[in-house]
Structure 1
């Protein structure tokens, strides 16, 4: 397999050739181009490749390569190459981090160059080193004292790289090292986000579907006992209980799938609540008012998610159990606490909270989520009729009621 790694040469406008044939690039222009690329280039390998051609021409090298440190810290992985023979390229895809001049640069955290190419020759078993290539320069990519990769320049002469060019290489390596570190942090944040998303799904299953399944599991032995004793009345009761629980579990599963397909609005809690309100009547036939007296809700993303799902669950209970034709959602601040209430004009809570399994499960879900907010969920009669569900939790430090 002799496929070369793709390379993009540096823009010709950034390169000037002197009368003596030496390539010189104004330092500020190169660094400005790198800085601009850090914010606009999402492909790190492409970014590193782009400046490989610049560094090769700047040093007057015949070939070059750019490598990044592998996750285990033991090897340097080839990202891009320019001018290397295919046979050499195949052997250069992964090299030990302590190998030859690259190892010297990694240990010293500074650019190194060497005419001792024995390690390169032995590793590749190719005559390129010592014949076509007489000197190798290794410029480490580093950030805050960490070595993250290396640029290699392969020279056809044994003349050292000029000092001013070496200094520019150091600046380039620091800027590109920052890009490597930012990419690493981005990957870590993505892993954390995925882990949190999976944990959230596990919590959703535990807080809703698992509780319904547990209820069914407790009813099943009672049904068996009733059947064994030929108690038709009890048998019918437990069969009905299991049927209702199964219907509830199926509905909860569909609701969970809907929630995870339609995640909370990434703009934040208030746009997400407006979205719920906008769709509520079409889904339920129940009219809804949204009264917001706290337009500057100051919550962390995790807190916003918890509040969002508590409100969804409260409105879900209204649609399932209240027999209401109107509901109001209110958000306000009282005595340094956020107070979010959902009030309907339905049949009220007489005997409902304690006897209706669906309503009881919904409240358990809300109260479980409220623990993450240091919050309270209360269920009381409405002002005139129906039911009011209230979520109350402290306003975060630095957010004052009189600022609204």
Structure 2
């Protein structure tokens, strides 16, 4: 782990700089130490040299005592001089780091200093102190002081010489350390420059040269990997990039061709999906739809035959709706299959797309498809809203394998076909429901008008037969006008019904169509009609407008038949809510009595059913002798734009 960490460039650079700093600090520290020691030695030489002067001064003071001067003053000076020398000796012994002042820490100098101190304390200082204390001093005593002073001075000189020789040696090492520091600075600078060039500049230069060659599309360039540091990793990454770029450029044409082929396939798939979806949206029969669908997918997949089968869930039958490329014998054999029969019937049970390779089946000789030369049969299901409607087959005389994308495409096409078939069925059901509702309204209209008229005529004919049998001619004369009036009324009802059934919206708008209906009502009934509209009645879907028109026609028909009115008011108000009203000044009726009739009054029920179709509200307002008003209101929340 440590070796791996040392291989990092940053670790190596930091280690190199720290090593250089440590060596430099050691040399600088040694230089400072030698300088400090030399300063202390120089101060020690000065102090030790002052001992000689103090010793000679001590000898001179001793001579003054001998010459008989002021003995007391001379003795005091002699004591002071002794104390000065004692202090100097103590200073040399303990040293003074602040000055600095100290004896060099060598054994020879320490021994020499010990001898000087011993000479002073044991040899020179005792006779001098005795001289200062004596009343009379013999000549021999003074001679002894002078001799011992000379010996002490010689020992001090020896100490000073030793210190000077030691200082010379330290001065030499100081110069040597300074020269070493200078050499270290030069060598270190050169070494750092070389190492930095070797570790940083040279790899960066090689990388730059490699990038230049790479820019010139020379993908054969490779960088030497001679280390495991960051530049080594960068060189390996550059080489890998060069390998990938070289491989990419070498295979670029092939990849472009492959991508182009894939895009073409996708475009062909999209074109097939778009073409199939557009075709299936057209209004056509189921056979034409399935035939066009089968033709398109067969051309796309280059199939040799195919068929579309529809499932009858009530009888579990599979009916072949369309086919192509199949023999008449195969078509007759498999025109109607039971669920579970043959390969196709088995696929219905599993409800999964199946591709059969007939050459690998054990019972292939028993299959009519294989006997006719087909090698591969694919079965894809037709679904709509998770409802299984059938499946379609593609037959191939050569062994064919479908990719996942092709299988997904065929399954999507099966869903498109299933949706189209289901939409066609729903449209048929809607048409049947609309026809049934219109027939119901026609039946109600016939019952409300013609059926009642015919019933009246039937009663009059029976009465006519009875009168003729009884030879009551007066009754016959009264019955014949009633018959003529009944026939005329029925004729008018038939014309009115035919007119209502043929009514269509004009090219203009709802108001224009209402004006046409009102004008025709005026001409046919002779009743005055006041029509007023504050807008064109838009926006409404055409079906809604047509139902509104039918309601107005039915309301006017009821006015003609039952109200005996001389004036009718038709109002259209298009504000927040849409309101359409038809009011007359006829004799009116009791609404409670009308409610008691229930379904018997077909005209009112027809208007209510038409109002319910468009989510409108229909209200009847009437009273005996006060006329009748039919009000249709469509709230704003129920209005739907066309």
Q: TM-score, normalised by structure 2?
A: 0.47
Gaps of 5+ in 1: 1-17, 354-362
Q: Which of residues 572, 587, 593 in structure 2 aligns to 1:331?
A: 572
Per-residue CA distance 1:176-228 (angstroms, 9 max, x = gap): 11111101101111111121122111111111112223334555666667677
CA offset at residue 270 of structure 1?
5.0
Q: For the pair shown, which has the larger CA radius of gyration, 1 or 2?
A: 2
How many corresponding residue pairs?
359
Aligned partner of residue 281 in structure 2, secondary structure: helix
- Superposed counterparts of 1:234-313, under 5 Å: 236-260=477-501, 262-265=502-505, 270=511, 272-277=513-518, 279=520, 290-293=531-534, 295-296=536-537, 307-313=548-554
Residue of structure 2 in register with 1:109 after alignment: 351
Residue of structure 1 in register with 2:637 after alignment: 398
Distance in 1 between the 2:431 and 2:382 partners? Answer: 23
Contact 1:63-1:154 at 8 Å conserved across structures: yes
Distance in 2 between the 1:53 and 1:148 partners? Answer: 19
The change in CA–CA distance for 1:84 and 1:368 in structure 2 (over 3 A counts) is: closer
Q: Where is the helix percentage greater, Structure 1 or Structure 2?
A: 2
Contact 2:353-2:380 at 8 Å conserved across structures: yes
Per-residue CA distance 1:57-90 (angstroms, 9 max, x = gap): 4444321112233484633333332221233234
Aligned partner of residue 40 in structure 1, secondary structure: coil
Residue of structure 2 in register with 1:39 after alignment: 281
Distance in 2 between the 1:185 and 1:340 partners? Answer: 36
Distance in 2 between the 1:121 and 1:274 partners? Answer: 77
Contact 1:101-1:137 at 8 Å conserved across structures: no
- Superposed counterparts of 1:25-64, under 5 Å: 26-64=268-306
Aligned partner of residue 449 in structure 2, secondary structure: helix
CA RMSD of aligned residues (A): 4.5
The change in CA–CA distance for 1:210 and 1:269 in structure 2 (over 3 A counts) is: farther
Distance in 2 between the 1:165 and 1:335 partners? Answer: 56
Distance in 1 between the 2:306 and 2:545 partners? Answer: 50
The change in CA–CA distance for 1:89 and 1:103 in structure 2 (over 3 A counts) is: closer
Gaps of 5+ in 2: 1-259, 591-599, 612-616
Q: TM-score, normalised by structure 1?
A: 0.70
Aligned partner of residue 394 in structure 2, secondary structure: strand
Contact 1:370-1:376 at 8 Å conserved across structures: no
Distance in 1 between the 2:524 and 2:363 partners? Answer: 71
Contact 2:309-2:319 at 8 Å conserved across structures: yes
CA offset at residue 111 of structure 1?
1.1
Distance in 1 between the 2:336 and 2:572 partners? Answer: 58
- Structure possessing the higher relative contact order (Cα contacts under 8 Å, 6 or more residues apart): 1
Q: Which of residues 211, 215, 229 in structure 1 aligns to 2:456?
A: 215
Distance in 2 between the 1:248 and 1:351 partners? Answer: 21
- The answer to whether 1:194 aligns with 2:431 is no
Contact 2:444-2:603 at 8 Å conserved across structures: no
